[in-house]
Structure 1
């Protein structure tokens, strides 16, 4: 069998929002990129027989099962893709690694630092057997973000001094929105902090090459009780209309931080920013220039080049659609934009290529543990009244 005929057989656990995004990427990756392995969407897993059967047919999976342990035990599965709530990440990923499966796990890596460390240990043990792991911080794979990192690495901004990052949504501003799993600490670990704050922590560390070393934080839960979800449907936006349950996560988190290279930073994550649907923005200021990325204009970067003559200075738009830009040679002619879903396709592309090459993809579980340690420090700081809180070192 030639290399191009080799299959990489995927088993995915979970089929909701992230499962749909991952499925689209698995369907697309070999149709766009020339890869040494051909992806086969072998089986998807979900607890509800009827719903997972419908999802398998709709999303393009060959088969469906209702027990993730069955999926892991199968000899015809090479990769386990974990798209479940955070409370099951560690158990599923560790079991999959022990069974010799490559693992892609959605972010944040786990609900606690202890779980994340256990996952890192399992990944390191499996790595010795040629098993690869990656955490799904998909925004790294937006071409403009990767270009941003390349420009920082090349010294175009000089010494990094300021980092500003915000991720704002408004999908739970209605007090009648039900108590879904993302609003329960035992399922989600945290609220806006872990759900969307994890993304901007990872992005700023990725782009700058610096690690967050300490934080001072405040969190807030604006609506402390919500209607229990309707048992009949279990769908977001559906409630019983009567009984209430306690919200046990944050609705918003804001913190200042210091980075390992000397930069100072501010972070804001909120699901109560009325009018903001999925607004992620990162600005990096350096001694020679500045860069700005805005997810609502994801094919662009704003670049201020301080080395240009005074008469020519100002923020300039870089349209990130050229074949020379990261990932884009596989897509459309210059000027033809791509979207949110492409970041997942790029993620699968890099993961498949790393498995084929026997190299370590990024972000690793260790990288994701680094984000988890920041989340933990933010929570501890907020619990202690915004006190300055060092981030626990990775090797501790």
Structure 2
């Protein structure tokens, strides 16, 4: 792509309560060479309001019309998971680069279908936590042997969401068929962070619980039945032999939220922490260690941009570089398929009560790949890509 400015169209950029509003829109507005060209929502009124509030060039009440617009380079899908498949396949067929929120699909089968449709298109998956500058530095410290041989790790990932009281709009998270719940969202992000720093997870032993089987819908005062886990515990191992535990907990009061990811090695330790009420994938991360290290790179977005846009801004920055340079360094839909398989292994382990091996269909290629761009495309392979 030779043009200097990359034009983004967002499906799901609502002004009232949307992830796009607090992450994608401010990230795009703060990045040089990127413009919010269009927004699409479910109604003409909300689409027009979003375009006016966010400074978009155009608005659409029909997302497929926006996808077909030749003036859009990247289509961002920021709607509920059940709508992902149709929109993603349409965007790929329209020859667009596609940035889709995670999880990619409601199942491994849906994720596989979308990954197969990518061909040579550029894609990005919304597992943005691995793009955080502190995470990249932590991965560097591990891969360069600064903490010695990694021995063990513990990740604690609490969130205010998925608790005993939720808005009616979030009732979708209580239904397994939606593909959106604590495990697929918070759990998927947490396990992806383990792989970003320590490499591929090869086996998991899991336990899930439903601690609040009846959930109050706060804006309707109705009780809903919860059929998805609101606690997930994982004991796992990475290919390099690191044993780790992951506690993924819902319904934690905001004042008690503290995300932590601690890695201990033979020569030292490092820790990543955050206290954002909705989890680390929403906010910035702080890196500490008992060893000296170079501070993480500055974020692609400016210091004045809200915290929820930091990691999403990193995804856009890398995707835009790929579009300009013809590279494929941004983790995309093949990475999303791997994450879906990892989540499925956790589900199966919890359901059957036995340890599960994690399927890595492309592992055999990893040792043969030499270029940085190719290696970066392998899910779970910790690779540091130089920033321009």
Same-fold call, TM cutoff 0.5? yes
Q: 1:395 to 1:301 in 2, by over 3 A?
A: closer
Per-residue CA deviations over 1:135-176 (Å, capped at 9, x if unaligned) read: 122222322111111111211122222121121013443447
- One of 268, 278, 288 as aligned partner of 1:289: 268
SS of 1:238's equivalent in the other structure is: coil
Question: Residue in 2 aligned with 1:260?
Answer: 239
TM-score by length of 2: 0.83
Q: Distance between the aligned counterparts of 2:124 and 2:92, measured in 1?
A: 12
> Is the 8 Å Cα contact of residues 9 and 79 (structure 1) preserved in structure 2?
yes
For the residues of structure 2 that align with 1:299 and 1:218, how far apart are their CA atoms? 27
1:184 aligns with 2:182: no
* Per-residue Cα deviation, 1:333-371 (whole angstroms, up to 9, x for no partner): xxx998442222222111111111110032222222221
Identify unmatched segments of 5+ residues in structure 1.
Answer: 31-37, 229-236, 306-315
CA contact (8 A) 1:157 1:289 kept: yes
Among 105, 108, 115, which residue is 1:110 paired with?
105
With over 3 angstroms needed to count, the CA separation of the structure-2 counterparts of 1:282 and 1:326, relative to structure 1, is same
- Change over 3 Å in CA distance of 1:156–1:348 after alignment to 2: same
Match of 2:200 in 1: 211
**Residue in 2 that maps onto 1:308:** none
| 2:258 corresponds to 1:279 | yes
Mapped to 2, the partners of 1:176 and 1:133 lie a distance apart of: 32
Quote the residue 1:326 is aligned against.
Answer: 297
C-alpha contact (below 8 Å) 2:162/2:173 kept by paired residues: no
Q: For residues 148-163 of structure 1, what are the structure 2 equivalents within 5 Å?
A: 148-163=138-153
Q: Is the aligned partner of 1:194 residue 2:175?
A: no
Consecutive unaligned residues of structure 2, counting only runs of 5 or more, are: 277-283, 364-388
Question: Following the alignment from structure 2 to structure 1, what is the Cα–Cα distance between the partners of residues 200 and 228?
Answer: 25
With over 3 angstroms needed to count, the CA separation of the structure-2 counterparts of 1:330 and 1:238, relative to structure 1, is: closer
**Equivalent residue, structure 1, for 2:358:** 391
Partner of 2:84: 89
- Tell me, in whole angstroms, the C-alpha distance in 1 between the residues paired with 2:241 and 2:40: 45
Q: 1:254 Cα shift?
A: 0.8
Q: Tell me which of 307, 312, 324 is aligned to 1:344.
A: 312
| Aligned position for 2:230 | 251
Whether 2:24 is the aligned partner of 1:57: answer no
Following superposition, the deviation at residue 50 of structure 1 comes to 2.1
Q: CA deviation at 1:191?
A: 1.9
Give the CA deviation at 1:304. Answer: 2.5
Query: Which has the higher mean CA deviation after the structures are superposed, 16-25 or 275-284?
Result: 275-284
Residues in 2 aligned to 1:147 and 1:217: alpha-carbon distance in whole angstroms: 29
1:223 match: 212
1:9 alignment partner in structure 2: 7
Judged with a 3 Å threshold, the aligned counterparts in structure 2 of structure 1 residues 330 and 10 are, in CA distance, closer, same or farther, namely closer
Separation in structure 2 between the aligned mates of residue 159 and residue 382 of structure 1, nearest angstrom:
30
The answer to whether the 8 Å contact 1:7/1:40 transfers is yes
Q: Give SS of 1:292's match.
A: strand
SS in 2 for 1:180: helix
| Cross-structure match for 1:34 | none
**1:48 equivalenced with 2:48 (yes/no):** no
1:319 and 1:261, CA in 2 relative to 1: closer, same or farther beyond 3 A?
closer
* Rounded Cα–Cα distance in structure 2 between residues aligned with 1:216 and 1:258: 9
For residues 273-299 of structure 1, the C-alpha deviation after alignment (integer angstroms, 9 at most, x for no partner) is 344675332111122221100023946
Shift of 1:319: 8.6
TM-score, normalised relative to structure 1: 0.81
Residue 163 of structure 2 contacts residue 230 of structure 2 at CA under 8 Å; is this kept in 1? no
Distance in 1 (CA, whole Å) between partners of 2:219 and 2:301 is: 41
The structural deviation recorded for 1:69 is 1.5
Mapped partners of 1:364, 1:303: distance in 2: 30
